[in-house]
C-alpha cells in the first residue's frame, strides 16, 4: 500500500483502487484521499474532510446536469429543466451513483460512524459522490468530471428520457431531502391570503419543526406551496452544516 500525508498531519493508508475494481480519474492521490474522507474520520480537523470538495462538486454537478438537459431537451422551458435537474441531483439518485461507482467501499469513516451503518447512509454517499466530482474537476478539468458524472448517472438519465422516472415536484424533493438528512417531514401553512375570489394570492410558509425554511407566493395554495418548497430546497442546501447541528 502507498502511504500518503494529508492535511491534518496524520499518515493514512490509501487503497489500491485497481485491486478494488474502482477507477477514479484523479491523478493527485492526496486529493482523492480527501474526497473519500468523511468528517467523522478527521478528529475535528474538518478542513481535512471532503466537505469543501462536496460544495464544489455540488456546483459542478449542477452545471453538468443542467448542460446535459439543456442540450438534450431543446423544447423544454426553464421550469421543466429546473425540475428535471433537481430530480437527477437529489440525494437518493447520487447515492445510487456512488454505489455504482464503487465509492461506498472506499470511504474513510470513524469506527462509530462505520458501526452505525454510515457506509450505506444516503447522505454520506451522495455527499461523497459530489466530493469526487469536485476533486476530478480540480485535478483533470470539466470534461473529465462531466464524463464521470454522466457515466454513473446514466440509468437515471435514461429513465428520465423514457418516462420511467417522472420529473418530481419541489414538495416531493424537499420531503425526500429532509427525511434523508434529518428524518423530518416539512409542514406547510397559509400565512396570508388576499385578492378577490377570482384573483386570489396566497402566501405559504414551510417549516422544519419550528424553523421557517421558506416562503412562497402563488395564485393557488398548491402553487404557493411549490414555491415555498423551492425556496426551502435552496435554504437547506446553503445551510446544511448549521442545520445538521440544529436537528442533530
Q: For residues 218 and 142, what is the distance between their CA atoms, to the nearest angstrom?
A: 38
Catalytic residue among 127, 130, 156, 225: 130
Catalytic residue among 58, 127, 156, 225: 58
Active site annotation includes 58: yes
Q: For residues 155 and 140, what is the distance between their CA atoms, to the nearest angstrom?
A: 24
Active site annotation includes 147: no
Q: What is the 3-state secondary structure (H, E, C) of the chain?
A: CEEEEECCCEEEEECCCCCCCCCCCCCCHHHHHHHCECHHHCCCCHHHCCHHHHHHHHHHHHHHHHHHHHHHCCCCCHHHHHHHHHHHCCHHHHHHHHHHCCCHHHCECCHHHHHCCHHHCHHHHHHHHHHHHHHHHHHHCHHHHHHHHHHHCHHHHHHHHHCCCCCCCHHHHHHHHHHHHHCCCCEEEEEEEEEECCEEEEEEEEEECCEEEEEEEECCHHHHHHHHHHHHHHHHHHCHHHHHHHHC
Q: What are the residue numbers of the active site? A: 58, 130
Amino acid at each position: 500500500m502507498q502511504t500518503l500525508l494529508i492535511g491534518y498531519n496524520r499518515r493514512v493508508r490509501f487503497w489500491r483502487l485497481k485491486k478494488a475494481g474502482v477507477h477514479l480519474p484523479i491523478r493527485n492521490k492526496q486529493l482523492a484521499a480527501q474526497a473519500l474522507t468523511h468528517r467523522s474520520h478527521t478528529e475535528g480537523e474538518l478542513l481535512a474532510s471532503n466537505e469543501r470538495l462536496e460544495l464544489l462538486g455540488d456546483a459542478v454537478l449542477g452545471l453538468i446536469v443542467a448542460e446535459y438537459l439543456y442540450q438534450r431537451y431543446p423544447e423544454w422551458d426553464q421550469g421543466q429543466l429546473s425540475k428535471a435537474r433537481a430530480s437527477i441531483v437529489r440525494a437518493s439518485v447520487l447515492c445510487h451513483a456512488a454505489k455504482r461507482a464503487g465509492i461506498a467501499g472506499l470511504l474513510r469513516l470513524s469506527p462509530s460512524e462505520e458501526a452505525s451503518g454510515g457506509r450505506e447512509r444516503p447522505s454520506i454517499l451522495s455527499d461523497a459522490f459530489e466530493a469526487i466530482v469536485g476533486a476530478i474537476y480540480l485535478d483533470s478539468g470539466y470534461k473529465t468530471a462531466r464524463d464521470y458524472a454522466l457515466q454513473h448517472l446514466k440509468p437515471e438519465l435514461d429513465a428520465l428520457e423514457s418516462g420511467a422516472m417522472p420529473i418530481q415536484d419541489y414538495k416531493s424533493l424537499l420531503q425526500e431531502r429532509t427525511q434523508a438528512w434529518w428524518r423530518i417531514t416539512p409542514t406547510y401553512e397559509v400565512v396570508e391570503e388576499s385578492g378577490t375570489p377570482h384573483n386570489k394570492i396566497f402566501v405559504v410558509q414551510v417549516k422544519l419543526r419550528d424553523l421557517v425554511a421558506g416562503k412562497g407566493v402563488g395564485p393557488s395554495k398548491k402553487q404557493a406551496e411549490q414555491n415555498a418548497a423551492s425556496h426551502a430546497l435552496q435554504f437547506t442546501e446553503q445551510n446544511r452544516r448549521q442545520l445538521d447541528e440544529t436537528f442533530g
